C-alpha cells in the first residue's frame, strides 16, 4: 500500500530542481515513463450517515480532504451522484428506452395480445420509490461554493483554485433515498435483501493524466480515486451489515463480528447502533444490510477474513456453507496466479441484482444452485485484482477489467471443478465468432456506455477482452503469459494501468513486439482468418499453400497427422512479432516434434511450405490445434487428405 504525503514547499522546490537535472540524464529516468499515470490524486473521506430504514432514506455529512498531485491548477471538481440515475427521465432511463436490447432487469415484460411490451421500470418509479442524492451546504475550506447538479453529476465551481501539489477540504451534507432495486443498488432486491448500498454517497470523480472523468451514470462502469475511508453508519440495531472496510467497534456491534468469547449486550434503551468502518486505499465504499443475514467468518489465505452474509433461509444455507471452503481455494489460486490480495478482509454478501464487484466485497444473488453461486462468486472475487487493485479506467477500457477477470475465472473454475479442459476458453471463442458474424461488433476502444447493443458491449468486454489474454498465450506461450500477468500486477497495482501497460509488460517479459496486437485487437474490428488453400504432391514431397484472408496477422502453428499415427508440427513465426515461441506441446505432456519455418511477413497474404513426405502419407493438416487463435472461419483451418 502507498501513503500520500504532502511535501513541504521547500522540499518540493528542491525536488523540482533535482527533477530538472534528472531530465538532462533522461535515460536514468526512463522507468518513469512506464505508465502515463505515474501520479494520481488522493482522497480521504470521513462520512457519518444516519439511516431511516423504514423509508429507505439516509442523511449524512461528508468531509473530503482532496490532494491535487497533478501539475494542473483545478478550478472545478466533479462528484458522482449515482442514485439520481433512478428517476424518470434520467439518462439511464432514456437509454433503456432507446437501446434495442435493454437490460432485462430494467424492464418489465408485459403481454399485449401476441405482442410483448417492455415497460421501462425507471420511467414508472413514484417519488417515494426513486433514488436521489441531494447535496447541501457545500464548502471548500469553510467557504461556501457553487455546486450544480447535472443529472448524476455534481459540478462544483471552486471558491479558490487548487494549486498543484496542494490540499483542500470539501464538506457537504447529503440527503439520500435508496431506489427500488433495479440495477445494482436498491431496496428489497429480488431475494428480499433490504439494503444494497453501492454508489450511494457523493463520490469525487477521477482526475488523471487524461483530465476529468465525470461520466454520467447511464449503465456502466465505475472509476475512482484511491484513498482512505472512515465511515460511521447509524441504523436500527436489528440490521446486520457487511461491506468494504474493517469494523472498528466489533465488540459493541456483535452480529458475528465480535472477538471470540465476547458476549455483546446492548444497553437497554439502545434502538440504533453506529457501525464504524475504516477502509484504507480503496476507491469505493459499499455496504448492504438486512435483518435476516446469517454471518460466517472463515480464514482465507494469508489470514484474510472471508465474511459470508446470506439470508437465514433453509433452502440456501447448505449452498452458502459449501461455498466457503471453495472460496478459500479460489483466493489462494488467484494469489498464486496474479499476486497477493492486499487487504485484510473480503465479504461475499447476498444482495444486488446478479453479481457486482466492490471494494473488499461483492453483492451477489444467492438463491441459485451452488454451481451458479460459485461461478458468480469466483468471477466477482477475481475483480479485486483487476477492477479494484489495478483499477484501469473501466468506463473507457471495460475489457481490461471484465475480460481479464473472465480469463482468470475460467482458469480457476476449470481447475477447481476438476473439468480440466485442454482449452477452458473454447466457449468464449464461439461467442466472439457469433458477434463477428452478427455484424454488430464495435472496437474495444468504445466507451462502456456507448455500444449500440448491450450484447455487443458484453461480448466485447467480457469475451473479446478475455481472448486478449488467452490469445496472447498463443502468441508468446503459456509460461510467458503467466509471467506477464504476475508482473503486470506487481508493476501496476494501485496505479490505474492503461492498455499500453499490459502490452508493454508482455513485451518486457517475452521480448516480442506486440504493438500491432494491441492495435488490431482493441482499436479495430479486424479479424483473423487463415486457411489451407491447397495441398499438392510434388514428387516425394507435399506442398501446403496457406493464405491470410483476415486483416489481422498471426504466427501459425500447423499440425500434421500422418497415416502411420505420428504427429508433427510446424511453426511459422510472424515477422512483425520478432519472436519465436517455445514449442507449445511441451507443456501438454508428450512433446511433438516441431520445425520452425521461415517467418511470414504481413504484407504477403500467401505462404508455401514443403513437407518432405508424400501426400498419401498425410491424414490431416490443422492450423492452430490449440484453438487459442481466434480464427473467425474455422472451416478452412483443417484439411483432410482423402
At residue 163, the 3 state secondary structure works out as coil
- For Zn ion, give the closer residue by CB, 402 or 557: 402
Say how far apart CA 536 and CA 602 lie, in whole Å: 24
Closest CA to 283 of 360, 196, 340: 360
Closest CA to 597 of 580, 582, 613: 580
- For Zn ion, give the closer residue by CB, 105 or 232: 105
CB atoms < 10 A from the CB of 350, how many?
28
Say how far apart CA 379 and CA 401 lie, in whole Å: 11
HEC secondary structure over 313-374: CHHHHHHHHHHHHHHHHHHHHHHHHCCCCCCCEEEEEECCCCEEEECCEEEECCCCCHHHHH
> 444467492: which residue's cell?
366
Tell me the torsion sign for CA atoms 478, 484, 486, 489: negative
Rounded to a whole number of angstroms, the minimum distance from the CB of residue 366 to Zn ion is 17
Binding window for Zn ion (CB under 5 A); candidates: 1-9, 42-50, 398-406, 475-483 = 398-406
Rounded to a whole number of angstroms, the minimum distance from the CB of residue 97 to Zn ion is 25
Cβ neighbours for 35, distance < 8 A, ≥ 6 positions apart: 492, 495, 497, 498, 501
Tell me the Ramachandran region of residue 17: left when phi exceeds 0, alpha when psi lies from -120 to 50, beta otherwise.
Answer: alpha
Number of residues this chain uses to bind Zn ion (CB under 5 A): 1
Rounded to a whole number of angstroms, the minimum distance from the CB of residue 438 to Zn ion is 22
Binding mask of the shown chain, residues 539 to 578, with x at each position contacting Zn ion by CB under 5 A = ----------------------------------------
Rounded to a whole number of angstroms, the minimum distance from the CB of residue 286 to Zn ion is 15
At residue 634, the 3 state secondary structure works out as coil
Rounded to a whole number of angstroms, the minimum distance from the CB of residue 379 to Zn ion is 6
- For Zn ion, give the closer residue by CB, 402 or 507: 402
Say how far apart CA 125 and CA 131 lie, in whole Å: 9
HEC secondary structure over 212-251: EECCCCCCCCCCCCCEEEEEEEEEECCCEEEECCEECCHH
Rounded to a whole number of angstroms, the minimum distance from the CB of residue 304 to Zn ion is 21
- For Zn ion, give the closer residue by CB, 191 or 402: 402
Say how far apart CA 97 and CA 89 lie, in whole Å: 10
Rounded to a whole number of angstroms, the minimum distance from the CB of residue 51 to Zn ion is 28
Per the DSSP assignment, residues forming a β-bridge with 235 are: 273
Binding window for Zn ion (CB under 5 A); candidates: 141-149, 400-408, 432-440, 443-451 = 400-408
- For Zn ion, give the closer residue by CB, 403 or 553: 403
Binding window for Zn ion (CB under 5 A); candidates: 60-68, 401-409, 416-424, 466-474 = 401-409
Rounded to a whole number of angstroms, the minimum distance from the CB of residue 462 to Zn ion is 7
Binding mask of the shown chain, residues 369 to 388, with x at each position contacting Zn ion by CB under 5 A = --------------------
- For Zn ion, give the closer residue by CB, 375 or 499: 375
Grid coordinates belonging to 410: 475460467
Rounded to a whole number of angstroms, the minimum distance from the CB of residue 405 to Zn ion is 5
Per the DSSP assignment, residues forming a β-bridge with 64 are: 45, 170
Say how far apart CA 569 and CA 84 lie, in whole Å: 59
Binding window for Zn ion (CB under 5 A); candidates: 97-105, 176-184, 326-334, 399-407 = 399-407
* Cβ atoms 251, 258 nearer than 8 A: yes
Binding window for Zn ion (CB under 5 A); candidates: 317-325, 396-404, 557-565, 614-622 = 396-404
- For Zn ion, give the closer residue by CB, 222 or 489: 222
Rounded to a whole number of angstroms, the minimum distance from the CB of residue 384 to Zn ion is 11
* Cβ atoms 359, 346 nearer than 8 A: no
- For Zn ion, give the closer residue by CB, 129 or 402: 402
Rounded to a whole number of angstroms, the minimum distance from the CB of residue 409 to Zn ion is 8
Which residue sits closest to Zn ion, CB atoms considered?
402
- For Zn ion, give the closer residue by CB, 95 or 379: 379
- For Zn ion, give the closer residue by CB, 402 or 561: 402
- For Zn ion, give the closer residue by CB, 360 or 621: 360
Rounded to a whole number of angstroms, the minimum distance from the CB of residue 83 to Zn ion is 22
Binding window for Zn ion (CB under 5 A); candidates: 1-9, 182-190, 394-402, 497-505 = 394-402
Residue list 402-431, contact with Zn ion (CB under 5 A): 402
Closest CA to 578 of 514, 504, 506, 512: 512
- For Zn ion, give the closer residue by CB, 183 or 255: 183
Rounded to a whole number of angstroms, the minimum distance from the CB of residue 130 to Zn ion is 27
Rounded to a whole number of angstroms, the minimum distance from the CB of residue 357 to Zn ion is 6
- For Zn ion, give the closer residue by CB, 215 or 402: 402
Rounded to a whole number of angstroms, the minimum distance from the CB of residue 464 to Zn ion is 14
DSSP 461-493: IIIIHHHHHHHHHHHH-HHHHHHHHHHHHHHHT
Say how far apart CA 77 and CA 71 lie, in whole Å: 15
Say how far apart CA 475 and CA 639 lie, in whole Å: 23
- For Zn ion, give the closer residue by CB, 200 or 386: 386
Rounded to a whole number of angstroms, the minimum distance from the CB of residue 349 to Zn ion is 16
Sheet holding 355-358, edge to edge: 293-299, 305-311, 345-350, 361-364, 355-358
Say how far apart CA 280 and CA 1 lie, in whole Å: 9
- For Zn ion, give the closer residue by CB, 461 or 510: 461
Binding window for Zn ion (CB under 5 A); candidates: 39-47, 200-208, 397-405, 588-596 = 397-405
- For Zn ion, give the closer residue by CB, 290 or 402: 402
Angle between helices 314-337 and 370-383 (to 10 degrees): 40
β-strands 618-623, 606-611 pairing: unpaired
| Interacting residue ranges for Zn ion, rule: CB under 5 A | 402
Amino acid at each position: 500500500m502507498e501513503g500520500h504525503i504532502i511535501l513541504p514547499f521547500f522540499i518540493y522546490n528542491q525536488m523540482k530542481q533535482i527533477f530538472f537535472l534528472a531530465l538532462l540524464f533522461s535515460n536514468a529516468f526512463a522507468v518513469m515513463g512506464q505508465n502515463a499515470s505515474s501520479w494520481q490524486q488522493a482522497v480521504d473521506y470521513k462520512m457519518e450517515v444516519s439511516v431511516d430504514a423504514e423509508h429507505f432514506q439516509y442523511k449524512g455529512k461528508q468531509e473530503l480532504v482532496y490532494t491535487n498531485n497533478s501539475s494542473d491548477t483545478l478550478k472545478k471538481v466533479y462528484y458522482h451522484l449515482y442514485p439520481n440515475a433512478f428517476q424518470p427521465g434520467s439518462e439511464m432511463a432514456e437509454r433503456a428506452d432507446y437501446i434495442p436490447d435493454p437490460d432485462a432487469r430494467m424492464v418489465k415484460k408485459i403481454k399485449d395480445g401476441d405482442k410483448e411490451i417492455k415497460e421501462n421500470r425507471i420511467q414508472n418509479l413514484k417519488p417515494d420509490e426513486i433514488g436521489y442524492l441531494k447535496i447541501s451546504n457545500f464548502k471548500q475550506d469553510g467557504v461556501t461554493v457553487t455546486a450544480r447538479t447535472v443529472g448524476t453529476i455534481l459540478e462544483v465551481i471552486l471558491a479558490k483554485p487548487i494549486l498543484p501539489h496542494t490540499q483542500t477540504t470539501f464538506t457537504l451534507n447529503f440527503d439520500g433515498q435508496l431506489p427500488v432495486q433495479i440495477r445494482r443498488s436498491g431496496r428489497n432486491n429480488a431475494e428480499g435483501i433490504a439494503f444494497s448500498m453501492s454508489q450511494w454517497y457523493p463520490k469525487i470523480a477521477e482526475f488523471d493524466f487524461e483530465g476529468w472523468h465525470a461520466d454520467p451514470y447511464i449503465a456502466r462502469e465505475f472509476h475512482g480515486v484511491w484513498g482512505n475511508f472512515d465511515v460511521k453508519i447509524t441504523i436500527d440495531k436489528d440490521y446486520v451489515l457487511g461491506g468494504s472496510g474493517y469494523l472498528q467497534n466489533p465488540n459493541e456491534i456483535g452480529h458475528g463480528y465480535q472477538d471470540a468469547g465476547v458476549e455483546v449486550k446492548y444497553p437497554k434503551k439502545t434502538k440504533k447502533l453506529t457501525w464504524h468502518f475504516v477502509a484504507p486505499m480503496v476507491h469505493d465504499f459499499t455496504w448492504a444490510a438486512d435483518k435476516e443475514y446469517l454471518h460466517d467468518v472463515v480464514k482465507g489465505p494469508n489470514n484474510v477474513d472471508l465474511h459470508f452474509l446470506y439470508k437465514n433461509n433453509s433452502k440456501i444455507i447448505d449452498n452458502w456453507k459449501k461455498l466457503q471452503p471453495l472460496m478459500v481455494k479460489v483466493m489462494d489460486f488467484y494469489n498464486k496466479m496474479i499476486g497477493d490480495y492486499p487487504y485484510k478482509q473480503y465479504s461475499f454478501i447476498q444482495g444486488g441484482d446478479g453479481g457486482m464487484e466492490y471494494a473488499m466485497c461483492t453483492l451477489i444473488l444467492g438463491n441459485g444452485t451452488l454451481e451458479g453461486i460459485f461461478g458468480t462468486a469466483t468471477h466477482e472475487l477475481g475483480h479485486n485484482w483487476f477492477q479494484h487493485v489495478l483499477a484501469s479506467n473501466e468506463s473507457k477500457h471495460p475489457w481490461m477489467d471484465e475480460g481479464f477477470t473472465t480469463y482468470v475465472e475460467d482458469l480457476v473454475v476449470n481447475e477447481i471443478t476438476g473439468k480440466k479442459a485442454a482449452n477452458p476458453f473454447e466457449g468464449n471463442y464461439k461467442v466472439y465468432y457469433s458477434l463477428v458474424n452478427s455484424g454488430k461488433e464495435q472496437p474495444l476502444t468504445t466507451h462502456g456506455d456507448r455500444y449500440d447493443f448491450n450484447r455487443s458491449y458484453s461480448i466485447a468486454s467480457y469475451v473479446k477482452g478475455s481472448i486478449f489474454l488467452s490469445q496472447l498465450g498463443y502468441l508468446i506461450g503459456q509460461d510467458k503469459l503467466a509471467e506477464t500477468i504476475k508482473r503486470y500486477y506487481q508493476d501496476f497495482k494501485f496505479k490505474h494501468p492503461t492498455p499500453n501497460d499490459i502490452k508493454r509488460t508482455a513485451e518486457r517479459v517475452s521480448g516480442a513486439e506486440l504493438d500491432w496486437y494491441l492495435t488490431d485487437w482493441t482499436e479495430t474490428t479486424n479479424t483473423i482468418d487463415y486457411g489451407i488453400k491447397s495441398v499438392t504432391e510434388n514428387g516425394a514431397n507435399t506442398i501446403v499453400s496457406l493464405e491470410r484472408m483476415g486483416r489481422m496477422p498471426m504466427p501459425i502453428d500447423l499440425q500434421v497427422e500422418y497415416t502411420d499415427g505420428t504427429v508433427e508440427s510446424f511453426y511459422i513465426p510472424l515477422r512483425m512479432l520478432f519472436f519465436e515461441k517455445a514449442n507449445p506441446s511441451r507443456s501438454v505432456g508428450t512433446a511433438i516434434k516441431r520445425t520452425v519455418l521461415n517467418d511470414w511477413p504481413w504484407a504477403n497474404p500467401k505462404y508455401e511450405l514443403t513437407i518432405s513426405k508424400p501426400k498419401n502419407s498425410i491424414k490431416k493438416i490443422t492450423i492452430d490445434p490449440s484453438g487459442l487463435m481466434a480464427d473467425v472461419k474455422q472451416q478452412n483451418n483443417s484439411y483432410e487428405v482423402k
